[in-house]
A and B are shown apart, each in its own frame.
Chain A
Amino acid sequence: MRIFISCKSASQLVSQSLDAPLTWQSRLVLRLHLVICKYCRRFSQQLAVLRKAVQNMVQLTEADESIQLKPEARQRIINVIKQNQ
């Protein structure tokens, strides 16, 4: 097992850790790298900010009542419903 990893590998592990739990070995080498590397620490924090922002963005769009189905799309759906009664 390699104890010291590059920033490139560290950045990949940070991203992966957002999608699935890492193995304990990967967690260990990543934590070690983050202790000694300021840039990767920032990178990791920024991905967390990014995730939070995406969640906000989705919530805001969902709550934005000015966004509505266009009349043409609505009519198309009514027609489809009619045809498939």
Chain B
Amino acid sequence: MTLSAHNDWLEAHGDYLYRFALARLRDPHWAEDAVQETFLAAIKATNFAEQSSQRTWLTGILKHKIIDVMRKSQREVVASDLISDEDANMDDFFDDKGHWLEPIQAWGIPENTLEQKQFLSILQACMDKLPQKLSALFIMRDVHEENNEEICKELEISTTNAWVMLYRARMRLRKCLEINWLAS
């Protein structure tokens, strides 16, 4: 492969791969890193893909690089931010008998395009309040790309820890949406 062929890859797929990574990692620098590592792996690979499936092949590499970036970032984040026993920080939600402290309000389901747009922008803002790794794990889980065990193995966390993290993410996001979506 020549330099210009590799640059053609970047030209043809770079922006797409960046959007793919950004949608999951939600951090421009992390997403750039993941894309860079993807091209690096791609030029070293010998199993070049057929023209028609280049993008699919590159995206497959990128998925692993996204998890690599998450794993690296994991070491930089304070552990207590991510993993704790099941009861930590749940006091805000339940009394000591395990009843909801506050009633769960009914939501209007966002129906038309405008409402969906508003809902998504509130969701984005709520996501921003989560530790980045937590939101990335949550997104990967909910877009059904990898099964749980696969993600956990690659991130070097236990399945139980993942459940606790995802539970905490959902509790916080739901609360944030309840406050801001109902108010809007």
Contact = CB atoms under 8 A, between A and B. Distances in A.
Given A19-B162, A56-B120, 10 more contacts: A7-B94, A19-B166, A38-B104, A39-B104, A47-B170, A50-B177, A54-B138, A65-B15, A81-B10, A85-B43
Contacts of A65: 15
Majority DSSP secondary structure for residues of A touching B = helix
B173 interface: yes
Given A50-B177, A54-B143, A80-B36, A12 B167 contact: yes
Interface of B: 3, 6-7, 10, 14-16, 18-20, 22-24, 28, 32, 35-36, 39-40, 43-44, 86, 90, 93-94, 97-100, 103-107, 109-110, 116, 119-120, 123-124, 138-139, 141-143, 148, 159, 162-163, 166-167, 170-171, 173-174, 177-178
Contact of A80 (B39, B93, B99): B39
A69 B35 contact: yes
The 7 closest A-B pairs by CB, nearest first: A6-B98, A8-B98, A61-B23, A39-B104, A15-B167, A73-B32, A54-B142
B98 A57 contact: no
A8 B106 CA distance: 18
